Chains A and B, each alone.
Chain A
Amino acid sequence: MEPGQQRPHEPARLSDLQDWKVRLEVLLEDFDDHPENLDPEAANIQTGLVIPTYQVMKTDVAKASGQLWDNDSRQDFRTKYRAVATKWITYKSALAVLDRAPEGSTAHVDAMERLEEPRSGYIDALLDFYEVFSATLGFLFPP
């Protein structure tokens, strides 16, 4: 933030955003070593962390920050969100294939192997999204 620039009013859901930021940080640290841990919680993460984060940022935070959050940075944040959303569609399909395959069958083993690429694609996109989100939040609402 430049000297003389006014700190934006804190949006009502700032504490939610801070909570989601910490959760994403902890999860991404874990996925670094155990990416497979994402599978059972992936839908919760997408619908309970990523989507609400994007929605609150584009409404409450955009309104509270005014011109302080410039257009290029907003565009970058949107792009990162869309990348996560796109990767989620592919990953979700691969998870559904795994769910349908009987445990212990060849189809199950194949589905597990085919899941690795969409999963890592999703984690990479999630990390990019988190980094932009975290930097924006830290810039607009420094501790």
Chain B
Amino acid sequence: MSRNDGNVTYLHSHRSLLDGDLPLPVEELAEAVAAIGGCLAQIRAEPNSGVSFGRVTNTLLLLQMSTVEQRLEQLAEIRVTTWPDVRWALHFSNARVRALTYVRASAASLRKPRNHVGAKKSWEDSVGFGEVGALSNALQSVRDLIVTRYPQTGQAG
């Protein structure tokens, strides 16, 4: 809510909370969006990659997930106590924690030693089909939350 008396504009405190300075540079959000975009692209490419299933692909995925994990950890700075848009910070925090849980669980599954040495397995075999879907959804939720609220970050990925 705003009121304009001559040259003075009064802003409602809730409004100024929404639009205050961000405690993190927006570039960090953009980097997370790009990392998540790369990881999602890798996951989606997997079923169609034909010959590339196996150790090399899993290693690439592990690298992507490791980057995403680091980015998500850095975004722990987004808190309801300091972030200008409180409601967004609350929803983001939930999405971030859920995504981190799935990234760590999926990475742990991929790192597990296999019973049949040398057998080529898709990453969905390694991680589990349900987990892949849950991981993708969790990552997509984080990405959507960031890009919807801060559209300038979408240009990164």
Contacts of A22 on B, CB cut-off 8 Å?
A: 13-14, 17, 86
Tally of contact residues, A, Cβ under 8 A: 17
Within 8 A of B (CB), among A10-29: 18-19, 22-23, 26-27
A133 to chain B minimum Cβ distance, whole angstroms, is 15
New A-B pairs, 4, CB < 8 Å, besides A22-B86, A27-B80: A18-B13, A37-B90, A37-B91, A40-B96
Contact string against A for B residues 61-96, beta-carbon threshold 8 Å, 1 for contact and 0 otherwise: 000000000000000000111100011011101101
Within 8 A of A (CB), among B86-114: 86-87, 89-91, 93-94, 96-97, 101, 105
Query: What is the bound-complex CA distance between A48 and B86, given in angstroms?
Result: 13
Query: What is the bound-complex CA distance between A136 and B94, given in angstroms?
Result: 32
Chain A residue, CB-CB nearest to B104: A103
Query: What is the bound-complex CA distance between A22 and B83, given in angstroms?
Result: 12
User: How many A-B Cβ pairs are below 8 Å?
Assistant: 48
Q: Tell whether, in the assembled complex, residue B81 and residue A37 are in contact, meaning their CB atoms are under 8 Å apart.
A: no
Q: Tell whether, in the assembled complex, residue A41 and residue B93 are in contact, meaning their CB atoms are under 8 Å apart.
A: yes
Chain B residue, CB-CB nearest to A38: B90
Contacts of A23 on B, CB cut-off 8 Å?
A: 17, 80-81, 86
Query: What is the bound-complex CA distance between A78 and B31, given in angstroms?
Result: 45
Closest CB pairs A-B (n = 5): A48-B81, A40-B97, A26-B86, A40-B93, A44-B79
Query: What is the bound-complex CA distance between A36 and B96, given in angstroms?
Result: 14
A30 to chain B minimum Cβ distance, whole angstroms, is 6
A83 to chain B minimum Cβ distance, whole angstroms, is 21
Q: Tell whether, in the assembled complex, residue B14 and residue A26 are in contact, meaning their CB atoms are under 8 Å apart.
A: yes
Q: Tell whether, in the assembled complex, residue B90 and residue A41 are in contact, meaning their CB atoms are under 8 Å apart.
A: yes
Query: What is the bound-complex CA distance between A41 and B78, given in angstroms?
Result: 10
A131 to chain B minimum Cβ distance, whole angstroms, is 18
B44 to chain A minimum Cβ distance, whole angstroms, is 23
Contacts of B13 on A, CB cut-off 8 Å?
A: 18-19, 22
Contacts of B96 on A, CB cut-off 8 Å?
A: 40
Q: Tell whether, in the assembled complex, residue B105 and residue A45 are in contact, meaning their CB atoms are under 8 Å apart.
A: no
